Amino acid sequence: MSKDNTVGSQGILSKTQKEILVGLLLGDGLLELQHKNPRLKIDHSLKQKEYVDWLYFQFEGFCNQKPRQLDRVDSRNGKIYYHYLFSTISTAVLGEYFRMFYIAGKKTLPKNLTVLLKSKLSLAVWYMDDGFKRSDCDSLYLCTSGFSLEEQKFLQEILQKLYGFETKIHFAGKNARIYFPVKSAKRFCDLVRPYILSNFSYKLL
């Protein structure tokens, strides 16, 4: 996907940036409050370098530094984990989304999510960021355990209302996540396929 022509101005978010941001905030993307304005932080494993570089390309106009590799040692087992990350500048432009998606510093779901999630690009970014295909059957998951069970039910309602997806809540231990059975999984993949980066093609049916 090419960069939106309006990307680069620090005064406004383009339509594409807004749609990507919604997908990121439903996934692993973070808005961190720095003084009075938030910044967007993207942090993935090094194997997702192509994805992080693509996100940087989309938000480059809001960044002062390019993505960088960070090595972290897990004190529990001594293993080294390699991360690849970048952050935007702190900017009032992101304030609207911080106020929508955060309450008392905790990520939550905005009440107007039905409007925000109409974009297939948002769905695709959400899936690239925090979804996976099951290896034993043609179904998929969106990893939504960072949200409460009630919020996940709200997400189910929105996905059904906007796209007709029939989903279920599955548990992995104590962590709940949204499950797409075969029929809905195939329709989901058909919708997001044009927006999925080539290195994520393994997630598609």
pLDDT digits (tens, 9 = 90+) for 91-149: 999 999 999 999 999 999 999 999 999 999 999 999 999 999 999 999 999 999 999 99
- One-letter amino acid at 30 equals L
From 100, 127, 96, 95, select the one nearest 111 (Cα to Cα).
100
Query: Hey, which CATH number is domain 1-108, 3.40.50.150, 3.30.300.30, 1.10.3720.10, 3.10.28.10?
Result: 3.10.28.10
**C-alpha count within 13 angstroms, C-beta hemisphere, residue 80:** 5
Q: What is the mean pLDDT of each run of 10 residues along the chain (205 residues)?
A: 53 95 97 94 96 97 96 84 95 96 95 97 98 95 97 98 98 95 98 97 96
Q: Where in the chain is the domain with CATH 3.10.28.10?
A: 1-108, 109-200
CATH architecture of 109-200: Roll (3.10)
DSSP assigned state of 47: G
Residues 104 and 12: their CA atoms lie apart, in Å, by 25
Residues 181 and 138: their CA atoms lie apart, in Å, by 8
**What's the whole-model pTM score?**
0.92
Residues 18 and 132: their CA atoms lie apart, in Å, by 23
Structure tokens at 133: 């295909």
CB 43 within 8 A of CB 24: no
